[in-house]
Amino acid sequence: MNGVPLAWYLTLSVILFSLGAAGFLIRRSLLTMLMCVELMLNAVNLSFVAFAYRLQQVDGHIFAFFVMVIAAAEAAVGLAIVLALFRYRAAVEADEVGMLRL
Amino acid sequence: MDAILFLVFAFIAVACGINVVLQRHPINSALSLIGVMGSLAVLYLLLGGEFIAAAQIIVYAGAVMVLFLFVIMLLNAGRERTQTVPWVVRLLGPPALILFVSALGVIAYRLLPYRDLVRFGGFTRGGAADVGRPLLTTYVLPFEVTTVAILVAIVGAVLLARKEGGE
């Protein structure tokens, strides 16, 4: 039973994080931008779990769990803000909300 | 077997990740993101994280993405209207991305010897009991702070999404 080098997992994590960062920068839809943030958080979680394997400690899993919980809270608040923006400004794209006041 | 599973699900994750970024319609991005999360859950299982894999499916692929899909359908969000990527971004973006990925990849390969192999079953302390015990002893303070953060997030979300003036 041969295994997989740990560096492969970290490389996958790097690729997914970069995709998320690139998507956050080039997409204009607020919803897609939030989804790209989730993609970046998932990539970081993968590296946490990979390092937990390497160090044979469960702490990495706990950090990944905290990231997951905070990501859920972040998604709820972010989507509520998108909803409020849609209600007041009919805006679903980042270019339409350049002003701070409603 | 490990390598085959890793490569298959890593390929699915990267393909879905590219799809998340390139799709114009938010629904397509959201469904691709569910694919990324599902394949990452399989990779967590390969790394011995049973609890975290289950939480990934339940919290991320379940709760968070249902929330996203719900908001997309509520807003009736269509394709992106404006797609004005400045020429600076078009010119410098892809090289910067490739440079960033290769730099971090090289660091990963330098820091970690190639013989550091991940085998299925090499880490057996990722079950719910093994994660839950330190969560409620060593990490009890961050855990409680997280519950307060969740409460604040719920109250904030309700306050923000509430109809103005309606009692």
CATH, residue A89? 1.10.287.3510
Domain that holds residue A58: 6-97
- CA nearest A61 in B: which residue? B52
CB-CB under 8 Å, A49 with B44: yes
Residues 33 through 62 of chain A touching chain B, CB cutoff 8 Å: 34-36, 38-39, 42, 45-46, 49-50, 52-54, 56, 58-59, 61-62
Residues from chain B contacting residue A26 (CB–CB below 8 Å): 21, 85, 89, 93
- CA nearest B5 in A: which residue? A4
> Which band of pLDDT confidence, cut at 50, 70 and 90, is reported for residue B20?
very high
Res. B137: pLDDT tops 60: yes
Residue A12: per-residue pLDDT: 92
What mean pLDDT is predicted for residues B74-102? 79
Q: How many helices (H) and strands (E) does chain A have?
A: 3, 1
Residue B91: per-residue pLDDT: 81
Within a domain: residue A13? yes
> Which band of pLDDT confidence, cut at 50, 70 and 90, is reported for residue B120?
confident
Q: What is the pTM of this model?
A: 0.90
Q: Decide which of B119 and B28 is more confident.
A: B28
Distance CA B140, CA B125 (A): 19
Cα distances from B78 to residues A1, A39, B70, in angstroms, run 48, 21, 14
Res. B166: pLDDT tops 70: no
Secondary structure of residue A4 in the 3-state scheme: strand
Res. B22: pLDDT tops 60: yes
CB-CB under 8 Å, A34 with B20: no
Domain count, chain A: 1
Residues 6 or more apart whose CB falls under 8 angstroms from that of B45 comprise B53
Within a domain: residue A35? yes
Domain boundaries, chain B: 2-161
Residues from chain A contacting residue B13 (CB–CB below 8 Å): 12, 16
- CA nearest A50 in B: which residue? B47
Distance CA B144, CA A28 (A): 36
Res. A95: pLDDT tops 70: yes
Residue A16: per-residue pLDDT: 93
| Nearest-5° Cα angle at B139, A79 to B142 | 35
- CA nearest A15 in B: which residue? B101
Within a domain: residue A102? no
Question: pLDDT tens digits, residue range A3-17?
Answer: 888 888 988 999 999
Residues 6 or more apart whose CB falls under 8 angstroms from that of A21 comprise A36, A40
Within a domain: residue A1? no
DSSP string, B105-144: HHHHHHHS-TT-EE-TTS----SHHHHHHHHHTTTHHHHH
State the greatest distance between any 2 C-alpha atoms of chain B, in Å, as a whole number.
64
> Which band of pLDDT confidence, cut at 50, 70 and 90, is reported for residue A45?
very high
Angle between the A30-55 and B26-46 helix axes, to the nearest 10 degrees? 10
CB-CB under 8 Å, B6 with A79: no
Distance CA B54, CA B79 (A): 33
Within a domain: residue A20? yes
Within a domain: residue A69? yes
Q: What count of CB pairs under 8 Å joins A to B?
A: 244
Beta bridge partners of A5: B117
Residues from chain A contacting residue B152 (CB–CB below 8 Å): 73
Distance CA B138, CA B134 (A): 5
Choose, out of B52, B89, B133, the residue to mutate when testing the contact with A (most A CBs < 10 Å).
Answer: B52
| Residue A79 contacts B where some CB pair is shorter than 8 Å | yes
Residue A77: per-residue pLDDT: 92
Euclidean distance between the first and the last CA atom of chain B, given in angstroms as a whole number: 60
> Which band of pLDDT confidence, cut at 50, 70 and 90, is reported for residue B167?
very low
DSSP alpha helix (H) spans, chain B: 2-22, 26-46, 50-55, 65-75, 87-111, 128-136, 140-161
Distance CA A96, CA A102 (A): 11
Assigned fold of B2-161: Four Helix Bundle (Hemerythrin (Met), subunit A) (1.20.120)
